[in-house]
Amino acid sequence: MDCENSTHRYPLRYVACMSYPRSGHHLTVRLLAGYFGEQFRYCQFYDRPAGCCGQFPCTARDVNLTKNHDMDLGQTLGLGLPKLRELPYLVLVRNFLDAAVSDYNLYLREHEDSLETWQSFAQRKLGYYQRFVRKWILLDDDVEKLVVRYEDLTSRPEEWMGRIVGYFAPGEPIVLERIRELVSDALLEDVRPRETTMLYHFGVRNRRRIEDFHHYDPVFFSRLESQLWPELRELGYQPRYAA
Ligand SMILES: [Zn+2]
């Protein structure tokens, strides 16, 4: 994955990534690191032990991206992280139903599975999703942001990676050929309750179907979708289950 590109010094800026869990954050980071090479620096403060400053925004001068899910919004009264005028934000989101199913697969690593557990998990996450989407996407503010839906990133990866790359290095030419290579060669982390399998050279595409989920139930999904309909519609999603 070495590239001629990494010898070019881009004037990369620092972007704060706010992502709803399971919306393609790691995929985006891998693509950016592939594109910009060693110049791209990621704040690793969530690593244990922390690999960076442990603060938001990142205080390291050469860092280009921080990861945040603004989890505090999971609490009904949580205010979450500050919106800072001087920072450009990259907001990653995905249809709640798919994100919740994917998130639940991770949750099963530390919890027992049951239909009840899944349903209360989904119901709890629904409030978090609502607050996350309202705060970071729907609220009319004058913060600079690029909103990327996972569905767009995985169905039109070249176009959307181009936009993301351009967001980090405004005004710089975008090397489409390089993006094409990275997209077709991308690694997919296949997250399952027991393990994560790395599918190398899988390419950027969405391979999950929620119909394959072991608690799949159109009636329950319809209920979730109806509750979130104002947000999902604003995000441009089509109804799948709600009447
Ligand atoms: Zn940092």
* pLDDT < 70: residue spans in the chain: 1-8, 48-50, 201-202, 243
pLDDT in tens, 193-243: 777 777 776 677 777 788 999 999 999 999 999 999 999 999 999 999 986
The Cα–Cα gap between 91 and 69 comes to 10
Ligand 1 centroid from CA 122, angstroms: 31
Ligand 1 centroid from CA 48, angstroms: 13
Q: What is the pLDDT of residue 243?
A: 67
Q: What is the pLDDT of residue 198?
A: 75
The Cα–Cα gap between 59 and 146 comes to 22
Ligand 1 centroid from CA 12, angstroms: 16
At 226, list the tokens. Answer: 């109806």
Q: Which residues contact 177 (CB under 8 A, 6 or more apart)?
A: none
Q: What is the pLDDT of residue 7?
A: 59
Q: What is the pLDDT of residue 242?
A: 80
Q: Is 149 left (phi over 0), alpha (psi -120 to 50) or beta?
A: beta
Q: What is the pLDDT of residue 48?
A: 67
Ligand 1 centroid from CA 41, angstroms: 10
All structural domains of the chain, each given as residue ranges with its CATH number in brackets, are 12-234 (3.40.50.300)
Q: What is the pLDDT of residue 65?
A: 93
Ligand 1 centroid from CA 214, angstroms: 39
At 66, list the tokens. Answer: 């921080």
Spell out the long-range contacts of 108-115 with Cβ–Cβ below 8 A and sequence spacing 24 or more.
Answer: 108/193, 109/193, 109/194, 113/193, 115/215
pTM strictly above 0.85: yes
Q: What is the pLDDT of residue 1?
A: 44
